[in-house]
Chain A
């Protein structure tokens, strides 16, 4: 079974631009979560989508948005990029079953550099 696939793996943008990152979850997984990883702040939760609906949201400004499609694939968008947005953006998928197991399967991430 293929793992979580994220594209692009690396990208460089300039301040003020916007970026869209893509995530294909493991087949059968309906929940997709996004995390930002930086050396200073560690791993921070951005948002989670389940069945095309945002189920949870972290404490990030409105410049960060996402969506999920009917095939569970997800995209996140960051508008008006700032230098501080430089980070590794990780996507994770889960079965989202009950009870909550906390078991997320992460992709290798998209490394964004903002100049």
Chain B
């Protein structure tokens, strides 16, 4: 069964610090790896995404690092802010499966002021 494993389950970071969330996948047929951010009472929202032919993608304070050979990718949140406190999900999408995302278990991030 296709799986995406995410760690840690929860994370507490001081304001200004770096938050790091890691994911690993098993299926080499995945060709797109998005990260979603979810606030309480809201649906997930796309944060940033990467394709496996790119090793790193940066958007503002958010960076995805991708290691294709290790089948691992991670999200780095630089200068973490209290407003970043949310649950983060990594996901993987197979070719042709536009609406079918395989999600990691999620990481609850708390940024302390």
Choose from B1, B34, B106 the contact partner of A102 (Cβ within 8 Å). B34
Q: How many residues of A contact B (CB 8 A)?
A: 28
Which residues of B have CB within 8 Å of A102? 32-34, 46, 49, 91, 93, 98, 101
In the complex, what's the smallest C-beta–C-beta distance from A111 to chain B, in angstroms? 9
A48 near B44 with CB under 8 A, answer no
Choose from A4, A92, A101, A108 the contact partner of B49 (Cβ within 8 Å). A101
Cα A7 to Cα B29 with chains together (Å): 35
Q: Does A58 sit within 8 A of B, measured CB to CB?
A: yes
A45 near B100 with CB under 8 A, answer yes
B49 near A100 with CB under 8 A, answer no
**Residues of chain B having any CB pair with chain A under 8 Å:** 1, 31-34, 36, 41-46, 49, 89, 91, 93, 95-106
Q: Which 5 A-B pairs have the closest CB atoms?
A: A106-B43, A48-B99, A33-B99, A102-B93, A43-B103
